Amino acid sequence: MPWRVAFLDAALDSLIAQRRTDFDVHLYIPHACRRTGEAYVFPPSLRSRLAREPRIRVRPIATDYGPATKFLGPYDELRSGALGDIDAVITADDDVLLERHAVEELVEASTRLEDDVLGFMGVSEGRYVHAEHLAAEGLDERTVSILGGYRAVLYPVSVLDQTLLDDYRAVAATCDPFLDDDHLASWNLARRGVVRRVIATAHPGPEFGLNATLLDLPGSIGGDDQIDRSHKALIAYYDANGWPYPR
């Protein structure tokens, strides 16, 4: 949301402070917000920061995909090779502060599970599954029906394809603005046989709480009514095509 640009510094701090540093941070910023019609304006302090930190790059895009912008935004650049030879995209939201070991552990897990989509938080049979819980149970990973992007999610580049964009457009045509990006991605990947997993952190402990330190930024998803409508639109789309989906 445009008014939340002023609060980006804390989220960017958590990314730049990662123990693993061999990655760039890309901010996919639409020209205008579809939900409000407002333009995105960077305050002087953020413009100054971007000028002195070469690893943070702003990528203006014409289309606002809502929360799905974080994985649909890079699609054209990935397809054209503009981002270079990369193996994976890790998405993070603007209201999450990632632990310093998050990227390191996602990349390490991807060397063992190179074709899977991996996250620090997921949903299995309607329950949230946190990485600390998996570690306490002695599990390395757990397959889930829906992988929520509330922490960070690693997508192999190969799974980000045209079908995600097609599904988004089909649902957005009946429910605009479409917001339910977690279901959109998870159901699309499930339909294509891509495994989604929650991985266990190597650093469990009470100091990390529920492995989530959220910034207090209300207005993230537009209200429960909009989420309910977008979810129903996605179900109707799958039903119309005769596709199974995780319930």
| Closest listed residue to residue 97, CA positions, set 43, 152, 52 | 152
| Domain segments of the chain as ranges | 2-241
pLDDT digits (tens, 9 = 90+) for 34-48: 888 999 988 888 889
What tokens appear for 35 in the block?
Answer: 């939900």
Half-sphere exposure of 74 (CA within 13 A, CB side): 24
What tokens appear for 47 in the block?
Answer: 């413009």
Rounded CA-CA distance 119/142 in Å is 10
Pick the CATH number of 2-241 from 3.30.450.40, 3.65.10.10, 3.90.550.10, 3.40.309.10: 3.90.550.10
Assess whether pLDDT exceeds 90 at residue 144.
no
CB 89 within 8 A of CB 71: yes
| pLDDT more than 70, % of the chain | 90
| pLDDT more than 90, % of the chain | 45
What tokens appear for 38 in the block?
Answer: 């407002």
pLDDT score of 8 = 87
Q: Is 25 exposed, middle or buried (0-12, 13-18, 19+ CB in 10 A)?
A: middle
Assess whether pLDDT exceeds 90 at residue 146.
no
CA angle 37, 39, 42 (to 5 degrees): 150
What tokens appear for 246 in the block?
Answer: 């995780």
pLDDT score of 211 = 46
| Closest listed residue to residue 55, CA positions, set 101, 22, 103, 11 | 22
Rounded CA-CA distance 212/96 in Å is 7
Average pLDDT over residues 76-85: 85
